[in-house]
Structure 1
Amino acid sequence: MVQVTPSASKAVRDFMQEKNLVSPLRVFLNQSSCCGPSLGLRVDEETLETDDQVVVDGQTYLIDKGLGVMTGGVTLDFIDDNGQQGFTLTTARPMGGGSCDCSSGSCGSGGCC
């Protein structure tokens, strides 16, 4: 299940109109080598049999049913704080994952730190 806050819904609508897009948006699992799994959001033309679909304010969001079960549900929000803007995806259940020691640089360049 995907929940979308009002601020995220407006930001998505504005983005999709600006880019002249009408495609669904997919919440997906982004595997990372040292930081563990994280969630991502992308435009996706393909709806699969294993997808749950949620429509919020006319926008379709897709999430694999298994990912939905694993996360316990996902909330999409849009943050606008002191010039820092962006979407956030939070889960009802912690996803766990790897650890990262930023002080030692153990992740290498481009790590999670």
Structure 2
Amino acid sequence: MEPGASQALKSFLADKGILKPVRIDLNFSGCCDSSLCMRVDNISETDFTLEIDGLIFIINPETYELVGEVTISYVDEMKRKGFMLTSSKPVGEWDGFSVSDIKL
């Protein structure tokens, strides 16, 4: 978790009244490479879990095997605002370039 990302994520979830864990997952758009995304979800029995700064992150073992460790940063620039997820095993040529919100 990069500096600033934790507080931005906590604020986003608090503003929506969400207390559930955040799942790291793959998003398949159909036209481009898959990309990493975050969504609010429940923990399943097989999920890997990690608590960072009071936030609970979950990822299923298959996704973790494909993407490895994930770094979350927060971007607040003039034309880009949101969370950027970068994996230790890039999932596509644009890994780490796009920003996203959390799917509810």
Asked if Structure 1 and Structure 2 have the same fold, meaning a TM-score greater than 0.5 normalized by the shorter chain, the answer is yes
* Runs of 4+, deviation exceeding 6 Å: none
Farther off after superposition, 26-35 or 79-88: 79-88
- Give the aligned CA root-mean-square deviation in angstroms: 1.6
Instruction: Please report how far the alpha carbon of residue 22 of structure 1 lies from its aligned counterpart in structure 2 after TM superposition.
Output: 0.9
Residue 69 of structure 1: which of 56, 65, 70 is its match?
Answer: 65
Quick one: which amino acid aligns to residue 71 of structure 1? V
Q: Identity of aligned pairs, percent?
A: 37
Aligned to 2:21: 24
- Separation in structure 1 between the aligned mates of residue 32 and residue 86 of structure 2, nearest angstrom: 16
Aligned to 2:97: none
Map 1:82-101 → 2, pairs under 5 A: 82=78, 84-96=80-92
Specify every segment of 5 or more residues in structure 1 that has no aligned partner in the other structure, as ranges.
98-113
Specify every segment of 5 or more residues in structure 2 that has no aligned partner in the other structure, as ranges.
94-104
Instruction: Please report how far the alpha carbon of residue 17 of structure 1 lies from its aligned counterpart in structure 2 after TM superposition.
Output: 1.5
Quick one: which amino acid aligns to residue 91 of structure 1? S
Instruction: Please report how far the alpha carbon of residue 84 of structure 1 lies from its aligned counterpart in structure 2 after TM superposition.
Output: 3.0
Aligned to 2:3: 6
- Separation in structure 2 between the aligned mates of residue 40 and residue 96 of structure 1, nearest angstrom: 13
- Separation in structure 2 between the aligned mates of residue 20 and residue 72 of structure 1, nearest angstrom: 30
Q: Is it true that 1:43 corresponds to 2:40 in the alignment? A: yes
Instruction: Please report how far the alpha carbon of residue 23 of structure 1 lies from its aligned counterpart in structure 2 after TM superposition.
Output: 0.8
Instruction: Give the length in aligned residue pairs.
Output: 93
- Separation in structure 1 between the aligned mates of residue 33 and residue 9 of structure 2, nearest angstrom: 26
